[in-house]
Amino acid sequence: MRIAFAADDRNATTDAVQAYLAEAGHEVLRPAVSDVWPELGAAVGRAVADGEADFGVVMCWTGTGTAIAANKVPGVRAALAWDTWIAAGARKWNDANVLALSLKRLAPDVAVEITDVFLSGVAPDPDESANIARLGEMDEFRR
């Protein structure tokens, strides 16, 4: 898969996630050269929404800022996950296409586990298809 990746800082956790993505055979795209988290989140969101990437992974201190920025892009459903259950649920019940992680509060091995589950092929629950479709319709609220 093609994975758009961005982080506003570098540490053992970001390095571990990037290494995992490469070792798992994913093509890792770096759609932004900025170190400003709003730009990074939006760039990853655009790469996913435009079809340049299958999924995105964004990382900042809490993960929240890059998730918010990615979610500003129509068609993006970014989810902040702090454990594997949340990551699987984000895919299953929300068809999330961008994973947001904290680079300060997650240990490298935990961040890798979460990323692995998110990208593992968990399919969206057909019972949630109307709700997921409604999320796309909500782009009408954007000014």
Residue 64, judged by CB atoms within 10 A of its CB (0-12, 13-18, 19+), counts as: middle
DSSP state of 104: T
SS3 97: coil
> Which residues carry out catalysis?
60
Q: How far apart are CA 91 and CA 95, in angstroms?
A: 4
13 exposure class (CB count in 10 Å sphere: 0-12, 13-18, 19+): buried
CB 40 within 8 A of CB 14: no
Among the listed residues 142, 48, 52, 133, the one whose alpha carbon sits nearest the alpha carbon of residue 99: 48
